[in-house]
């Protein structure tokens, strides 16, 4: 039997455990008509300290078109600011996109943020707004 699968089976009967999660702040701007989406992720640990050694990958998909429009994962590069990572996603069209931020180090984690991405004028940068379709519980 595959050893990994054996351990997975063991994990299946185990109960979940929770560690303190890092905090993510995600800001994106759409560039040009494409539109390309430049995203900056700022990561902090539970104590509020920047996470400097993270491996961050960004991907995106359109929730309104399941499996149809998805952007391949792109590795984000650390900027000069500690705990800040940046990359660019080449989106296929404007609209509401779910931006997926994956951390593979120091701990694995995943964050999803929905963004309303608008088509921009050529050469201009427009902020992509985080969307919440409902503001409060009815």
Partner 1 sequence: MSAEHAVGLASDMGIMALLALSAYLLLLVGRISFGQQAFFGIGAYVSGIASAMAHWPLSIALFAGMLVGALASCLLALPTMPLSGLHYAVATFAFGEMVRVGLQAWYFQQETSDGPVGPAGLDGFRDIRWLLENDVSPSQYLVLIAAVLAIVLLAFAWLERRRLGVALRMTGHDDVLAATQGLAVTRLRLVAATTAGALAALGGGLYAHRATYIEPALFDPMLGVHAVSYALIGGLGTCLGPLLGVAFDLGLLEATRVFAGWRMVVFGLLVALFLRWRQRGLLDEALVHRFTQLFRARTQASR
Residues 105-124 that bind partner 1 (CB under 8 A): 108-110, 112, 114
> Which parts of the chain are beta strand (E)?
23-31, 36-44, 55-61, 70-75, 77-78, 84-90, 95-105, 109-117, 125-130
Q: Which is nearer to partner 1, 81 or 110 (CB)?
A: 110
Q: Which is nearer to partner 1, 69 or 86 (CB)?
A: 69
Tell me the per-residue interface mask from 3 to 42 with partner 1, x by CB under 8 A, - otherwise: -xx-xx--xxxxxxxxxxx---------------------
92 is a site residue for partner 1 (CB under 8 A): yes
Stretch that binds partner 1, among 36-44, 60-68, 76-84, 122-130 (CB under 8 A): 60-68
**What are the residues facing 86 on neighbouring strands?**
40, 77
Whole-number Å distance between alpha carbons of 20 and 6: 28
Tokens of 111: 């964050």
Among 11, 29, 89, smallest CA distance to 56 is for 89
Backbone φ and ψ of 12, nearest 5°: -65, -30
Residues near partner 1 (CB under 8 A) are: 2, 4-5, 7-8, 11-21, 57, 63-69, 72-73, 92-93, 98, 100, 108-110, 112, 114, 132-134, 137-138
């Amino acid at each position: 039997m595959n050893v990994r699968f054996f351990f997975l089976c063991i994990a299946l009967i185990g109960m979940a455990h929770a560690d303190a999660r890092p905090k993510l702040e995600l800001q994106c701007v759409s560039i040009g008509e494409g539109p390309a989406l430049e995203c900056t992720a700022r990561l902090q640990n539970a104590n509020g300290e920047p996470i400097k050694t993270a491996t961050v990958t960004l991907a995106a998909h359109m929730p309104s078109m399941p499996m149809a429009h998805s952007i391949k994962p792109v590795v984000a590069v650390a900027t000069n600011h500690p705990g800040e990572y940046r990359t660019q996603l080449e989106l296929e069209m404007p609209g509401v996109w779910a931006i997926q931020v994956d951390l593979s180090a120091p701990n694995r984690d995943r964050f999803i943020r929905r963004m309303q991405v608008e088509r921009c004028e050529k050469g201009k940068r427009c902020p992509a707004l985080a969307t919440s379709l409902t503001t409060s519980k009815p």
